[in-house]
Structure 1
């Protein structure tokens, strides 16, 4: 777990997106946490089961393990906690004992599943490989999707997984059509082919989180 900021007061715990989007947004998340530390707000970035430096293979994780890992990370900090969940990371913080949740461009499990299938279809077309999306519904072994081995349990769970709406602030990019509590200008880093950063966007998110936490504490 990466730690930032003071040893007292509230802490913002990040839930990165699943799979490759975690790599694309990690530097961005760290920049946000450093900006919050400059505002005397602590931050933490845990590696969850099947993510980052976790010893659990990606294909052996599922939503229950990921949610339990995130909840355990929050408990271990032993202080008032808020979440910053990015994209599909918003599917992981529902079981955590937090004061409130901040979801940045959240997506449903069905949205993520569709994106994984589209990536696999594009790859199959390029290689001339046959791929039937319906085969995912009956898969009993891990399936390679967008460069990741995904277990059948997680695939099934994604079909109806949704972010928690309890004590949640939803923020999206200004270019997104979906409704939100606020919209900010920035770059959809999760769409980039390689990991990247957007310092102005990170600062804007940090400002919004700091103001939101002050409101929650009032």
Structure 2
């Protein structure tokens, strides 16, 4: 597993980073990561799934969404269209044959045979981020109103859990839902979702289960 780069085009320019397991094999899976804090909590789990798929003969690519992780672009400049376009470019660059979306990443999977792990609506993501901001403010002795925060976010953007969301992305997430795909629900994996934990974690049994489901879906 090594780092690699891939080119952007359109409104976003430059290069983005990706983590790849690439041996030029026929099955090539692009993984669109979970968003924001969930992406951090699921990163180790995602890498463990990639390692298992490598042993199963499947190449994998985990790209950064522009404005996240190692990206040099500002998150506040991104919107749903730019993220979809970026994932489409990554899929073409790495010659992906299939795509896996993780949680909020399911909202931005490109036009390939798709699998969605525990997909979530954009509105649910925003609810969790808003709740975290209000609780953090309360602990600091401040009171923030959810409706006022939403009004501000729609108009000028907002910082939620340390993530500066532009107004366009916030408005789009309010109504965004994942497209058609084979859904892998958490009950097929077993246990509770690792995105629910307070810190990044991994679970070998869950990684085994998800990798097995993916390998069967991709290789038949």
TM score, norm. by length of structure 2: 0.86
Deviations 1:103-161 (A, max 9, x none): 11110011111111111121122112231222223433331212222111111001110
Report the number of matched residues.
201
Question: Structure 1 unaligned runs (5+)?
Answer: 175-182
Q: How far apart are the structure 2 equivalents of 1:172 and 1:97?
A: 21
Aligned to 1:186: 191
Structure 2 residue matching 1:193: 3-state secondary structure: coil
Aligned to 1:180: none
Aligned to 1:177: none
Does the 8 Å CA contact 2:27/2:219 hold for their aligned counterparts?
A: no
TM score, norm. by length of structure 1: 0.87
Q: How far apart are the structure 2 equivalents of 1:85 and 1:188?
A: 15
Q: How far apart are the structure 1 equivalents of 2:191 and 2:68?
A: 26
Q: Is 1:37 matched up with 2:54?
A: yes
Q: How far apart are the structure 2 equivalents of 1:210 and 1:24?
A: 23
Question: Structure 2 unaligned runs (5+)?
Answer: 1-17
Which of 101, 106, 124 pairs up with 1:90?
106
More off after superposition, 54-63 vs 103-112? 54-63
Structure 1 segments, 4+ long, off by >2 Å, are: 137-142
Aligned to 1:130: 143
Aligned to 1:178: none
Q: Is 1:120 matched up with 2:125?
A: no
Structure 2 residue matching 1:107: 3-state secondary structure: coil
Q: How far apart are the structure 2 equivalents of 1:83 and 1:107?
A: 16
Q: How far apart are the structure 2 equivalents of 1:141 and 1:56?
A: 19
Does the 8 Å CA contact 1:186/1:200 hold for their aligned counterparts?
A: no
Which of 97, 106, 110 pairs up with 2:119?
106
Q: How far apart are the structure 1 equivalents of 2:165 and 2:111?
A: 28
Q: Give the CA RMSD over aligned residues.
A: 1.5
